[in-house]
Amino acid sequence: MARPNWNAFATVIKGLLPQANADLIAIIRAKDDLICQLKTAALETDRLRDRVEQLEQLVGVDRSLTSRLRTAFGLEPGVAQVMGMLLKRDFVTHDALYVVLYAARPECDWPDARIVDVQISRLRRALRRHGITIKTQGGEGWLMSAADKARVRAVMDSGDAYVAAVATGTIASMRF
C-alpha cells in the first residue's frame, strides 16, 4: 500500500484556507446585515403600532371601553368593538365598521362584507333586553340616539358598581 503524500495534502489544505476565511467573513457580514434589518423592522413595527392606536382613537375604537362593554353586556369582542364605535361617533358607516373589524388581517382572510350586518344583528339582540336600540340610516350605516347612549353608559356604570361591591364585600347592602 502506498503511503499518503502529506506534503501534497498540506498544500491543498493551505490553498483552501483563504477561501474558507473569505466564506466565513461573508457569512458574518450577512449575519450582521440581517441583524440590522431585523432591528429596523422592529422599530418600524413599533412605529406602526403607535400609528394604529392613534387611528383607532380617531375612529372610536377604545380597547378599555370595549372590555367594559364586553363585561357589561356579555358581548363578543367584534360586537363590543361595533358598540364602542357607535358610542363614540354620531354615525358609523358599514365600510368603517368593516375596516375597523377586519383590516388588520391579510386581505385573503377578510370575511364577506355582510358579516358587519351579522355583528349589528347580534348587538341589537344583546341591547334589546336593556331597551336600547340601534337605528339604520339610509342603508349606509347606523347610529344611536343620545338617550340610548346614556342607557348604555348607565348599564356599564351599574356593572362597574356591582364589580366594585363584590370586590369590597358590600354587595349585600346594594340595590341594583
Query: What DSSP string describes 15-64?
Result: HHHHHHHHHHHHHHHHHHHHHHHHHHHHHHHHHHHHHHHHHHHHHT--HH
Q: What is the pLDDT of residues 10-55, one digit of tens each?
A: 666 566 556 667 777 778 888 888 888 888 888 888 888 777 777 7
Q: What is the pLDDT of residues 49-63, one digit of tens each?
A: 777 777 766 666 667
The conformation of residue 90, written as its DSSP 8-state character, comes to S
Give me the residue label for grid cell 363585561.
71
pLDDT at 166: 47
Residue 4 burial by Cβ neighbours in a 10 Å radius (0-12, 13-18, 19+): exposed
Averaged pLDDT score across all residues of the chain: 79
pLDDT at 63: 72
pLDDT at 160: 52
pLDDT at 10: 61
Out of 2-6, 19-23, 101-105, which region has the weakest mean confidence (pLDDT)? Answer: 2-6
